Amino acid sequence: MKKRLMAICSAAMITFMALPVSSETSDLTSNNGGVKSLRGQVEISAINKSEMLKRVPRDQPLIDRNYVQQPPMIPHTTRGYHVNLNVNKCLSCHSFKNAGEMGATKVSVTHFQARDGMTLSDVSPRRYFCLQCHVTQVAAKPLVENSFQPVKSLQ
C-alpha cells in the first residue's frame, strides 16, 4: 500500500516538473499571483509603444470654452511649473494678488470654496493642483473620433 502511494506521488511530481513553463510566462506571473491580463501574457510595452511627448506652443491666444462649466484650457506651456507643498507656480501669476501685475486671468472665485460651500481666504485645497482640471492643448490627431459640439450660445 505504502509503495503504491509513493509511486503515485512520484509520478505526479515528475508530470508537474515536466510541464512546459516558458520563461516569459513565469516572469510575468511570478509577482502577481497568476493574474492574467485580457491582452494575454505580453508586456504592454511590447505591443504598444509610448507616444512621443507633444510640443506644446509656448503661447497662444485664449482657447474658447465649449460649455459653460468647462475649466479653461491652458494657452501656454507649463513645463517646469512646480506645484507642491512649498510652491505653486501657477498661483505666482494667477492668484488674486499677482494676476494684475502678471497680466494673467485671476483664478475663479469658485476656487476659494471649500467642500461645504464656505468661502476661504485663499485657494481651497481641492483646487490647489491646477493641472488636475486645466490642461494644455496641441493640434494633434484625435485618438478616437469625436462628434462633440459646443452649446449654441458659445459657438
User: Is the CB of 119 or the CB of 132 nearer to ligand HEC?
Assistant: 132
State the minimum distance, in angstroms, from the CB of residue 118 to ligand HEC.
16
Cβ distance to ligand HEC smaller for residue 56 or 93? 93
- Minimum distance of ligand HEC from residue 126's CB (angstroms): 6
User: Taking the CB of residue 124, how many other CB atoms lie within 10 A of it?
Assistant: 15
Cell numbers 506645484: residue: 83
Is residue 113 within 8 A of residue 122, CB to CB? The reply is no
Residues that bind ligand HEC (CB under 6 A): 62, 69, 71-72, 74-76, 78, 81, 88-94, 102-105, 107-108, 110-111, 123, 127-134
Between 56 and 81, CB nearer to ligand HEC: 81
Closer residue to ligand HEC (CB): 59 or 145: 59
What distance, in Å, lies between the first and last C-alpha atoms of the chain? 87
Cα separation, 1 vs 112, in Å, equals: 81
Q: Which is nearer to ligand HEC, 28 or 94 (CB)?
A: 94
C-alpha 49: how far from chain center:
17
Q: In the bound complex, what is the minimum distance in angstroms from residue 66's beta carbon to ligand HEC?
A: 12
Shortest Cβ 151–ligand HEC spacing (Å)? 14
Q: How far is the CB of 146 from ligand HEC (least distance, A)?
A: 20
Residue 142 burial (CB < 10 Å; 0-12/13-18/19+)? exposed
Query: Quick one: residue 62, left, alpha or beta (phi over 0 = left, psi -120 to 50 = alpha)?
Result: beta
